[in-house]
Structure 1
């Protein structure tokens, strides 16, 4: 049985990396167990770890769901100076998505459900499972 998940990205400087991810996620880390490491529980049971070290180029992307990908993209372009964040869609795919890189080459992104009823159902399902 699986019940939680972590994913780790590495940054060359933890202070710069933590500040960048605080802006990305709009909040301070949930847990800093030791120097060179910070963690955010993005949704219940799913943790993003930022660790000081050599980034793994070309891995990912880690994509997070958002209810408004355009507003999210615009905020990141403004606040984090993201230069390349195009939004894509295809008729046969139920989401719009976009991918970009952090300053260390980690590939990240967001997606938004095209069908807002499906989005609402997913949110409710996740919230029910975490209570």
Structure 2
């Protein structure tokens, strides 16, 4: 795509128990939600134009996957350990990415991915 009118991305994760999920994500990100625009919705700004929204929707809970780009996968592993959030093993696709997966209490997947395609 040479030019685009796109200027931001919101990822939505559906959960069963909003209060429990908001506490879990606050622990994972090390801070409370940046915004609670309406009851049943909490939002974290993860980068300038990237937001993660946690919303109460028991019918869709546990069916989402979000990929979050990080600068350093080992630093993200330490962040997860400090938050007592288990993660999978670091998987490396040589010359492409390194990644870990975290599963929230509802079964949603959060993949933290480090781009290593330009690493020397």
* TM-score between both structures, scaled by the size of structure 1: 0.74
Matched with 2:114 is 112
Q: 1:31 aligns with which of 21, 29, 35?
A: 35
Query: In 2 relative to 1, CA 46–25 (structure 1 residues): closer, same or farther, beyond 3 Å?
Result: same
Shift of 1:19: 0.8
Query: Which 5+ residue runs of structure 2 have no aligned equivalent?
Result: none
* TM-score between both structures, scaled by the size of structure 2: 0.80
Q: For the aligned residues, what is the CA RMSD?
A: 2.1
Query: Which 5+ residue runs of structure 1 have no aligned equivalent?
Result: 120-131
SS of the equivalent of 1:16 reads helix
Compare the two structures and name the one with the higher helix fraction.
Answer: 1
Compare the two structures and name the one with the higher strand fraction.
Answer: 2
Matched with 1:70 is 74
User: Separation in 2 of the partners of 1:7 and 1:63?
Assistant: 9
Shift of 1:78: 4.8
